[in-house]
Amino acid sequence: MISTSGSVGLATRVGPDFGGVGASGTLTEIVGALLTVVLVVSVLMLAVCAIGWAIASAAGNYQAVTRARAGLWVAIGAAALAGGGVTWMNFLLRTGATS
């Protein structure tokens, strides 16, 4: 960093202060547990919708096929958002820690 006087100073390291939030360890555990629940429910929903899609397709029920396919896309989207959110947060924390 260059100061206004023209001399070169030390770079200041900026990062998150996890100690600034009371019970941040508990908060981290709760968020981790909720993300686990979201991913488990997404996988179960994916399996149920895939099975429903197969049965409805074999039976010729196109309305049920459409609903099962929509449920399948919702399950994939939920899993992608939950996993992508964790990845994005880890990227931001690593980027902030490297200054």
Does a structural domain hold residue 20?
no
State the total domains in the chain. Answer: 1
pLDDT in tens, 20-68: 777 767 877 888 888 889 999 999 999 999 999 999 999 999 999 999 9
Which residues make Cβ contacts (< 8 Å) with residue 16, sequence separation at least 6?
93, 96
The 3-state DSSP class for residue 2 equals: strand
What's the rounded Cα separation, in Å, for the pair 87 and 92? 9
Does a structural domain hold residue 4?
no
What's the rounded Cα separation, in Å, for the pair 44 and 89? 25
pLDDT of residue 15: 66
pLDDT of residue 8: 59
Does a structural domain hold residue 61?
yes
- Domain boundaries, position 59: 39-87
More confident residue, 95 or 65: 65
Indicate whether 70 pLDDT > 60: yes
pLDDT of residue 85: 84
Q: Does pTM top 0.85 for this prediction? A: no
Q: Which has the closest alpha carbon to 64: 76, 54, 73?
A: 54
Which residues make Cβ contacts (< 8 Å) with residue 65, sequence separation at least 6?
53, 56, 57
